[in-house]
Amino acid sequence: MKIISNIFSLVLLLALFASCGKDNYEAPESTLMGTVTYQGKALQLRGTGEAVQLQLYQDGYELDDPISVYVGQDGKFAAKLFDGEYKLITRDGNGPWVNTRDTVVVNLKGTTEVQLEVTPYFLISNAQMSVSGTTMNASFTIDQIVSSASINKVYLLLSKTQFADDVNNLFRKDITGVEPGAVTLSADITNSEDVANAKALYARVGVLAKGADQAIYSEVVRLR
């Protein structure tokens, strides 16, 4: 029994040393901050569900698994990292932009800010949204950026929070057959009790290009 007790004490002591060793590892203290842009302007994206991701590869270790960086609905992102040289790359097949694996080389030391420039299929401008009675109204312009791109569908969205997208919403209307240019659309919200009962209400529109996994969005507008 004494031998067993001594063995148990030794194992416990080794575990404590191992735990202390783990706790003594330094945490990353540098911050990479940035924005996904087109011609210097931040893109409006889906910000929930970690749907839009970038990837970081440390220089010299391209074959290792990438570090995932999640982009917010305002196009901004941030990550805590160790100092060093990294490659910031768009994720393959992810995002409402041309899939060219856009890359920025980042020499990180302390806090570093970057812009990751991409080419979206479409942009949305001049968006105006409202709810009148039992109807949601939206007028906006769909600007075609990639000449070969075509529209799959347009989303009309209402949400109880400022986070509004094709998944996070109180009301969603999908509309097909929409062409680029000035657009005016409406949706009947008569049967949406969630919208009627919402104390706060936000609106947004999105455009999903054919072949893309994510839509481009307008800025969120608070209606009440």
Q: What is the mean pLDDT of residues 105-118?
A: 92
Query: Residue 207 in contact with residue 86, Cβ under 8 Å?
Result: no
Instruction: Give pLDDT, residue 61.
Output: 57
| pLDDT per position as a tens digit, 51-86 | 999 999 986 655 578 899 999 999 999 999 999 899
Global confidence as pTM = 0.84
Distance CA 204, CA 114 (A): 27
Return the CATH number at 184: 2.60.40.2060
Domain-embedded: residue 17: no
**Residue 193 has which token pair?**
């009790």
Contact 155, 172 (CB under 8 A): yes
Q: Are strands 181-188 and 171-175 parallel, antiparallel or unpaired?
A: unpaired
Residues paired with 193 in a beta bridge:
none
**How many Å from the N-terminal Cα to the C-terminal Cα in the chain?**
73
The verdict on 135 and 110 lying in the same domain is: no
Residue 145: both structure tokens together: 């950026």
Residue 107's DSSP bridge partners are 85
Asked if residue 4 has pLDDT above 50, the reply is no
- Same-domain pairing of 82 and 126: no
Of 83, 117, 151, the one marking the end of a domain is 117
Tell me the one-letter amino acid at 14.
L
Position 142 in a domain: yes
Write out the residue range of the structural domain in which residue 183 sits. 122-222
Indicate if 113 and 126 belong to the same structural domain.
Answer: no
Domains of the chain: total: 2
Task: Clarify whether residues 198 and 166 are in a common domain.
Answer: yes
